[in-house]
A and B are shown apart, each in its own frame.
Chain A
Amino acid sequence: MLEENYIELLNISREIREKILIMHAKSNESHLGSSLSIVDILTVLYFQILNINPIDPYEENRDRFILSKGHAASALYAVLAKRGFFEEKLLDTFAEDGGRISVHPERFSVPGVEASTGSLGHGLSIGVGIALTAKKDKKTFKTYVLMSDGECEEGSIWEAAILASRFKLDNLVGIIDKNKWQAYERTDKIQNLSLLKSKWESFGWSCREVNGHNLQELIQVFRGIPFEVGKPSLIIADTIKGKGVPEIEDKMEWHYKSPKIDELEKFIKSLRKSV
């Protein structure tokens, strides 16, 4: 990638993080850390990888993106707005009384939100249904589903994983945001995270591990999909919860807290310094 394009992409991801900080400070809503950890993944997807058109958001052959970890919807809204799906000023109404965008995303609440999520373990099955239909209809678009590492404790994920492999859905891409925190514990204390890749592989998926904050690496790995013909692809993205603001990074409390208005300036300064 050209140096200038890379810098532009970096700027976009920083701007999105700023927006997210402001949205959470203003609304006093939770899951800030979960949103910040997926910003680079979303930036790469929405600005480099997905075949989408903000002017025609429901075009039949568009790539589908499902945010299965729906609690990080602030990041999705910020990216969609930045990509031109709707006006950025709508972000100011995040979780506001009578507003359109809630903490967990609603299908069609704003253009670009493909599925209502918020309860974990739902998105992959929906993605399998879409990818399976695409195969039946001989459509060439891809379906991307972003999950969290903790989410892999939901049994329905593995039901979907079995089916995706059985139907050779190489048009389906699972992404795991491995930020190593779940709501109330280190993920590794609840499940053995070192087995994550081998679990997916044993379910018939082709897996790659990637630094989930390295834009170049992310682009490269996404461009290699499908990793194997006839197999669904899984990307385990190693991330840091709260990435971008050192005061927030890798701390469980930022699953719950939101910046106070007077902290906001400090956090934005830290962000500009660190990214």
Chain B
Amino acid sequence: MRKAFVKKLEELVSKNQNIYLLTGDLGFSVFDHFKEKFPDNYINMGLSEANMIGVAAGMAMSGKQVFVYSIIPFITFRCLEQIRNDICLQNLPVKIIGVGEGLSYGTSGPTHHSIEDIGVMSSLPNLVVISPGDPIEVEKITEQSLGLDSPCYIRLGKSGEPSVNSHEVELRIGKGNIIKEGKDIAILSTGNMLSTAIKVSNALEYEGIDSTVVSLHTIKPLDEVLLKDLSAHKQHIFVLEEHVASCGLCSRIAFYYLQENIKVNLTCIGLPDNFVTLVGSQEFLRETYGIDVRSIKDRIVSTIRR
């Protein structure tokens, strides 16, 4: 996903020199080409995330389109008050790009995991929170982010996430991307769980379960029209996220239905409210926490046949 981001950003900067990329001293092999091609538009801010956010705010006040980029915990938790006061409160359209969503940095350990950031960032007024499902969504969302009047937070996977969408897909920030429609259940996925969602959906076909799959890339604001529609079909809704379920997409969806007094069968499939201190790769950790294809499929089958 991050390669898709950089590629799209290069294309955008080549058309608009008003765009700047600020980074927190990282991006070896990722930004090499970008910084060579656009030395004036690339600034390595050094290891000072709080300052980077404030500087981005100042640049945005002066009319620049600013992308700030680092690993998720460093560009969110480290500098949260700067994001809150300097960017969100002043409603400056800075784009905060975090890399390494969920357990992408599995073996790096819990300092590098990003499993609470949706909860934290979604709590901030004015901030649009987006977790694209594949590299194609990353490209489209990066481009559309330039048109936003308010700030946004885009969380990316690290690398290797497969493309699920075609380049022709019609995609809008704030609108769920319906990948397939089925009559029995609905699977809503955010971020890097998309390819898992599709594999689960395929596996469910063998069990005779026909599923809708939606990439709900925009976590805030929620696509309430879509959620209302889904509830009208009376399907059981499963929400997939590589994130603590109690403060992520699913909990936001649950809150929406509760506020609207809409009764739905909703199951949150995500991570427990724990630090993941177990050492292992993303794949290993997903299996351990039951958010791999097989575990999710089994859980869905047992839930709806209960």
Is B58 within 8 A of A132, CB to CB?
Answer: yes
CB-defined contacts of A124 to chain B, threshold 8 Å: 54
Is A130 within 8 A of B54, CB to CB?
Answer: no
Per the bound structure, the CA–CA distance linking A134 and B63 in Å amounts to 11
Is A137 within 8 A of B62, CB to CB?
Answer: yes
- Flag whether B111 is at the interface (Cβ < 8 A): no
CB-defined contacts of A163 to chain B, threshold 8 Å: 45-46, 48, 51, 55
- Flag whether B104 is at the interface (Cβ < 8 A): no
Say whether chain B's binding surface is mostly helix, strand, loop, or mixed: helix
CB distance from B166 to the nearest CB of A (A): 39
CB-defined contacts of A159 to chain B, threshold 8 Å: 46, 48, 50-51
Knowing A115-B90, A122-B86 touch, does A130 contact B50 (C-beta < 8 A)? no
Knowing A133-B58, A133-B59 touch, does A126 contact B86 (C-beta < 8 A)? yes
Is A133 within 8 A of B51, CB to CB?
Answer: no
Within 8 A of A (CB), among B73-114: 81-82, 85-86, 89-90
Per the bound structure, the CA–CA distance linking A137 and B59 in Å amounts to 11
Interface size class of A (residues with CB under 8 A): 20 to 34
Is B50 within 8 A of A118, CB to CB?
Answer: no
B interface footprint on A119-144 (CB within 8 Å = 1, 0 otherwise):
10110111111111110110000000
- Flag whether B197 is at the interface (Cβ < 8 A): no
Is B85 within 8 A of A125, CB to CB?
Answer: no
Chain B residues within CB distance 8 Å of chain A: 40, 45-46, 48, 50-64, 81-82, 85-86, 89-90
CB distance from A79 to the nearest CB of B (A): 21
Per the bound structure, the CA–CA distance linking A125 and B58 in Å amounts to 7
CB-defined contacts of A114 to chain B, threshold 8 Å: 61
CB-defined contacts of A131 to chain B, threshold 8 Å: 58
Within 8 A of B (CB), among A137-193: 137, 155-156, 159-160, 162-163
CB-defined contacts of B54 to chain A, threshold 8 Å: 122, 124-126, 128-129, 156, 160
Per the bound structure, the CA–CA distance linking A136 and B63 in Å amounts to 12
Knowing A125-B86, A126-B54, A128-B55 touch, does A119 contact B62 (C-beta < 8 A)? no
Per the bound structure, the CA–CA distance linking A127 and B48 in Å amounts to 15
Find A127's partner among B56, B58, B60, B63 (CB 8 Å cutoff): B58
Indicate the member of B53, B56, B82, B86 with the most A CB atoms within 10 Å: B86
Chain A residues within CB distance 8 Å of chain B: 106-107, 114-119, 121-122, 124-134, 136-137, 155-156, 159-160, 162-163
Is A156 within 8 A of B61, CB to CB?
Answer: no
Q: How many A-B residue pairs have CB under 8 A?
A: 91
CB nearest neighbor in A for B89: A116
CB distance from A143 to the nearest CB of B (A): 8
CB nearest neighbor in B for A107: B90
Per the bound structure, the CA–CA distance linking A131 and B54 in Å amounts to 12
CB nearest neighbor in A for B40: A136
Find B59's partner among A107, A121, A129, A160 (CB 8 Å cutoff): A129
Per the bound structure, the CA–CA distance linking A115 and B57 in Å amounts to 10
CB distance from B16 to the nearest CB of A (A): 14
CB-defined contacts of A156 to chain B, threshold 8 Å: 48, 50-51, 54, 82
CB-defined contacts of A155 to chain B, threshold 8 Å: 50
CB-defined contacts of A122 to chain B, threshold 8 Å: 54, 81-82, 85-86
CB-defined contacts of B40 to chain A, threshold 8 Å: 136
CB nearest neighbor in A for B64: A133
CB nearest neighbor in B for A134: B62
Per the bound structure, the CA–CA distance linking A129 and B56 in Å amounts to 6
CB-defined contacts of B81 to chain A, threshold 8 Å: 119, 122
CB-defined contacts of A115 to chain B, threshold 8 Å: 57, 61, 86, 90
CB distance from B265 to the nearest CB of A (A): 43
CB-defined contacts of A134 to chain B, threshold 8 Å: 62
8 example contacts (A-B, Cβ-Cβ < 8 A) are as follows A119-B81, A125-B54, A125-B57, A128-B54, A128-B55, A129-B54, A130-B62, A159-B50
Is B55 within 8 A of A160, CB to CB?
Answer: yes
CB-defined contacts of B86 to chain A, threshold 8 Å: 115-116, 122, 125-126
CB nearest neighbor in A for B55: A129
CB-defined contacts of A106 to chain B, threshold 8 Å: 89
Is A133 within 8 A of B90, CB to CB?
Answer: no
Find A118's partner among B51, B85, B90 (CB 8 Å cutoff): B85
Per the bound structure, the CA–CA distance linking A106 and B54 in Å amounts to 16
Per the bound structure, the CA–CA distance linking A122 and B82 in Å amounts to 7
Per the bound structure, the CA–CA distance linking A137 and B57 in Å amounts to 16
CB nearest neighbor in B for A115: B90
CB distance from A91 to the nearest CB of B (A): 23
CB-defined contacts of B58 to chain A, threshold 8 Å: 125-133
Per the bound structure, the CA–CA distance linking A119 and B82 in Å amounts to 9
CB nearest neighbor in A for B59: A129
Is B62 within 8 A of A133, CB to CB?
Answer: yes
CB-defined contacts of B61 to chain A, threshold 8 Å: 114-115, 126, 129-130
Per the bound structure, the CA–CA distance linking A118 and B61 in Å amounts to 18
CB distance from A31 to the nearest CB of B (A): 18
CB-defined contacts of A132 to chain B, threshold 8 Å: 55, 58-59
CB-defined contacts of B51 to chain A, threshold 8 Å: 125, 128, 156, 159-160, 162-163
